[in-house]
A and B are shown apart, each in its own frame.
Chain A
Amino acid sequence: MIEVLNLTKKFGDRLVVSDVSFSAKKGEIVGFLGPNGAGKTTTIRMLATYLPPTSGTAKVAGCDILAQSDEVRRHIGYLPETPPLYGEMTVSEYLTFVARIKGIGARQVKSRVAAVLEKCFLTEARNMLCSHLSRGFRQRAGLAQAIIHDPAVIILDEPTSGLDPRQIIEIRQMISGLAENHTVILCTHILPEVTMVCNKVVIINRGRIVLESRLDELVKGRSLEQVFLECVSQEEGAAASGAL
């Protein structure tokens, strides 16, 4: 469903993402892990066709992100780190707008909005202005806009950031529920989240992929934290010796 091939991104002279390759099959929830500033958000922004790569390419649902970017956008649901909400709209109005621009037919808009409101536990907040929503409801509204058009691929950037424990559990349950019919990339630096929700892990550090593995094969007698620290330390050691 997702094939990333040698994706590289430079901002001026600064190399942010270097030669990144990984894949994700249908039904997989991939945890895209890395420390702050590792290049996670840049990578997923390229997959979401918000940023063009400097070199390399990727295929999402069989469509090339450069040559078929419009098609890719139809197959992707993207939740950025800050949910993209219009404060002056109610939740219902906002999701109706998103449904229309995501290409849902006029006759299906109302039913899709109702379904997504229920799926994301937003029914009680449907008439609230987005600017009045609590942090938890904002994340749910953001998740709702990402899945409203039933995309094949869902990319979530730090979906539980800033939430309280109960809200975190709710969001994780929603994400787990998506796996059946979607491919999910969960971009996070919270390791327990990956352990609880994902079945595959990709670790990135300093713009390079340091590990890609199924979770059950990876953590054999070790915790994900140990594996993560090992990978990141090895990569930083290699980078330091290269610099020397």
Chain B
Amino acid sequence: MRNIVSVCRREILAFFVSPIAYFVITGFVLLSGYFFFNLLAVFNVMVGRFNAMAAYRGGMNAPNLNQWVVEPYYHTLLVILVFLIPVLTMRTIAEEKRRGTFELLMTSPLSVLEIVLGKFLGAAFVVLLMTLLIFSFPLLLMVFGQPGPEAAPVLNGLMTVLLCALAFAAISMAVSSFTENQIVGAVSGMVTLLLLYVIHSPAEALGEGWVSRVLQYLSPVLQAEDMIRGVLSIKALVYFGSLIVFGLFLSCRAVDARRWS
């Protein structure tokens, strides 16, 4: 445990000494704020039109903040994460090899799991910080909205974004650990996450067979849907947890392969 904490602390220092963390966090918050503002602006227009149609709307429901702002907001964040997370994780293993410190780690009494977990937790800290910062937008709605959005979808959605970001970090860390070039690592990570993001696309064309069901199960978008709507889905929790474990397992294998190659 002590070794994991030591590696994690060093990773966090490395993130915040280099410009990477600052650019990724700033970019994420800027994009999130931009999309949130747009969604809220459109919602305002819709509410205005709904109110103007008072005599004609019959049994129509008023536009709902959760449905029209919060849910699309969280879905948009997942897309942004596909591109930003690999930039964060591209240096975790590759840079150690480039500057010769990989030899220090490999010849110290550290297990491969301790190294990988320490690095992942360092990235997870940055991910957590990013998630907390973008939570400020729906939090503003909850505090100042009259009425504000329902709390369950907002909090569930936040947890979904965090879990998804951690899963993406584990997968892109695994992909980038097979290369020594950070750019190749980042691009490979983006491609992998993009493929994962759209993995359910052929499902409709494939009909009702097992392949279609498997593709739908593997999709982070579909897994996140219920959670973002406010339903605590054990299936989704297991899915994202499994992705994290799978990514860490692949990273361990990649590091072990370098040690014993």
Q: Hey, which bits of chain B sit against chain A, CB under 8 A?
A: 2-3, 6-7, 9-10, 13-14, 17-18, 99-111, 259-261
Given contacts A70-B109, A86-B14, 8 further A-B contacts (CB under 8 A): A78-B103, A84-B101, A84-B103, A86-B99, A88-B18, A98-B108, A101-B108, A101-B109
CA–CA, A50 and B9, complex, Å: 24
Main secondary structure of the interface of A (DSSP, over half): loop
Interface residues of A in 20-67 (CB under 8 A from B): 48-52
Query: Contacts A100-B2, A102-B109 given: A50-B14 contact, CB under 8 Å?
Result: no
A224 proximal to B (CB < 8 A) = no
Q: Do residues A73 and B104 form an inter-chain contact, with CB atoms below 8 A?
A: no
Look across to chain A and name the residue whose beta carbon is closest to the beta carbon of B13: A88
Partner of A50, one of B3, B13, B101, B103: B103
Partner of B7, one of A52, A101, A102, A103: A101
CA–CA, A74 and B103, complex, Å: 15
A80 proximal to B (CB < 8 A) = yes
Look across to chain B and name the residue whose beta carbon is closest to the beta carbon of A100: B6
Partner of B108, one of A52, A88, A89, A102: A102
B86 to chain A, nearest CB (A): 22
Look across to chain A and name the residue whose beta carbon is closest to the beta carbon of B2: A100
Chain A contacts for B100, CB-based, 8 A? 80, 82-84
A205 proximal to B (CB < 8 A) = no
CA–CA, A97 and B3, complex, Å: 10
For chain A, the bracket of interface size reads 20 to 34
CA–CA, A58 and B113, complex, Å: 25
Q: Do residues B108 and A73 form an inter-chain contact, with CB atoms below 8 A?
A: yes
Look across to chain B and name the residue whose beta carbon is closest to the beta carbon of A103: B109
Main secondary structure of the interface of B (DSSP, over half): helix
Chain A contacts for B18, CB-based, 8 A? 88
Q: Hey, which bits of chain A sit against chain B, CB under 8 A?
A: 48-52, 70, 73-74, 76, 78, 80, 82-89, 93, 97-98, 100-103, 106, 145
Chain A contacts for B108, CB-based, 8 A? 73, 98, 101-102
Query: Contacts A87-B99, A88-B13 given: A98-B104 contact, CB under 8 Å?
Result: yes
Chain A contacts for B6, CB-based, 8 A? 97, 100-101
Query: Contacts A85-B101, A101-B7 given: A50-B259 contact, CB under 8 Å?
Result: yes
Chain B contacts for A93, CB-based, 8 A? 13
Look across to chain A and name the residue whose beta carbon is closest to the beta carbon of B114: A101
CA–CA, A49 and B104, complex, Å: 11
B102 to chain A, nearest CB (A): 8
Query: Contacts A86-B10, A86-B101, A88-B14 given: A50-B107 contact, CB under 8 Å?
Result: yes
Q: Do residues B10 and A48 form an inter-chain contact, with CB atoms below 8 A?
A: no
Look across to chain A and name the residue whose beta carbon is closest to the beta carbon of B15: A88
Chain B contacts for A83, CB-based, 8 A? 100
Look across to chain B and name the residue whose beta carbon is closest to the beta carbon of A102: B108
Q: Do residues B13 and A101 form an inter-chain contact, with CB atoms below 8 A?
A: no
Q: Which of B18, B108, B261 has the most CB atoms of chain A within a 10 A radius of its CB? A: B108
Chain B contacts for A102, CB-based, 8 A? 108-109
Q: Which of A83, A84, A100 has the most CB atoms of chain B within a 10 A radius of its CB? A: A84
Look across to chain A and name the residue whose beta carbon is closest to the beta carbon of B118: A101
Q: Do residues A73 and B107 form an inter-chain contact, with CB atoms below 8 A?
A: yes
Chain B contacts for A49, CB-based, 8 A? 106-107
A/B interface sample: 13 pairs, CB < 8 A: A50-B106, A51-B261, A70-B111, A84-B103, A85-B99, A86-B14, A86-B99, A97-B9, A98-B108, A100-B6, A101-B3, A101-B7, A102-B108
CA–CA, A82 and B104, complex, Å: 11
Q: Which of B102, B107, B259 has the most CB atoms of chain A within a 10 A radius of its CB? A: B107
